[in-house]
């Protein structure tokens, strides 16, 4: 999977570089590269700190702990626990979706799982600190986070009736 991600990124870079070459010649490719390096220099100290931070989050908040938490609570309590668990859990979709599927099998409700996945996508504590803060700055990150706080509740309450209607 990492190899495929690497290949995809290399492919995207190759295509954009070729386009930059076509439109602006060698100078365009050079300029794009220099702009990239400028961004990299700006975010590198924070990204390095962020990755170390993410490593410790993995140790402190384990996926096992999260699935224990979620259990089979339903209703508003389940939705709130799902939102909190989703915000806390670090890692990509290869972590969150297997957890969601396994607690779904064990009887967790549609609402709490929708809240969990929405919180993991929209208000992830670790991804916001590790990625969003370095690239987009403190005020945007903070405001986006605050506005998104209610999203897991919206998904948690609205998904179950639509799910029941569909199935």
Distance of closest approach, residue 111 Cβ to other proteins, in angstroms: 10
Query: By CB under 8 A, is residue 98 in contact with other proteins?
Result: yes
Question: Is the CB of 69 or the CB of 151 nearer to other proteins?
Answer: 151
- Which of 28, 71, 74, 80: binder of other proteins (CB under 8 A)? 28
Handedness of CA 61, 63, 69, 70 (dihedral sign): positive
Q: Which of 29, 70, 79, 85 binds other proteins (CB under 8 A)?
A: 29
Query: Which of 78, 79, 110, 112 lies at the binding interface for other proteins (CB under 8 A)?
Result: 110
Query: DSSP class of residue 107?
Result: T
CA distance 126 to 124: 6
94 binds other proteins (CB under 8 A): yes
Q: Identify the burial level of 86 via C-beta atoms within 10 angstroms of its C-beta, where 0-12 means exposed, 13-18 middle and 19 or more buried.
A: buried
CB of 61 to other proteins, least distance (A): 9
Is residue 63 near other proteins by the rule CB under 8 A?
A: no
Give 77 or 101: the residue with its C-beta nearer to other proteins.
Answer: 101
Q: DSSP H helical segments within the chain, as ranges?
A: 2-60, 63-70, 75-88, 93-105, 110-122, 125-127, 133-136, 138-148, 151-166
- The two structure tokens encoding residue 30: 């050079």
Candidates 26, 58, 63, 79: give the one binding other proteins (CB under 8 A): 58
Contacts of other proteins in 118-157 (CB under 8 A) = 118, 121-122, 127, 129-140, 143-144, 146-148, 151, 154-155
List of residues 6+ apart from 156 with CB closer than 8 A: 78, 79, 82, 83, 111, 112, 114, 115, 118
- Total binding residues for other proteins by CB under 8 A? 88
- Exactly one of 20, 79, 85, 88 binds other proteins (CB under 8 A); that residue is 20
């Amino acid at each position: 999977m990492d190899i495929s991600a690497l290949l995809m990124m290399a492919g995207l870079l190759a295509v954009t570089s070729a386009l930059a070459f076509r439109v602006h010649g060698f100078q365009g490719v050079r300029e794009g590269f220099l702009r990239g390096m400028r961004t990299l220099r700006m975010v590198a100290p924070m990204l390095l700190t962020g990755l170390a931070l993410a490593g410790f989050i993995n140790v402190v908040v384990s996926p096992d702990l999260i699935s224990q938490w979620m259990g089979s609570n339903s209703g508003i309590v389940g939705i709130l626990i799902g939102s909190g668990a989703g915000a806390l859990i670090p890692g990509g979709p290869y972590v969150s979706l297997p957890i969601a599927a396994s607690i779904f099998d064990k009887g967790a409700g549609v609402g709490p799982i929708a809240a969990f996945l929405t919180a993991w996508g929209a208000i992830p504590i670790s991804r916001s600190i590790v990625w969003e803060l370095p690239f987009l700055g403190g005020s945007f990150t903070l405001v986006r986070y605050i506005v998104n706080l209610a999203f897991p509740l919206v998904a948690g309450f609205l998904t179950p009736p639509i799910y029941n209607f569909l199935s």
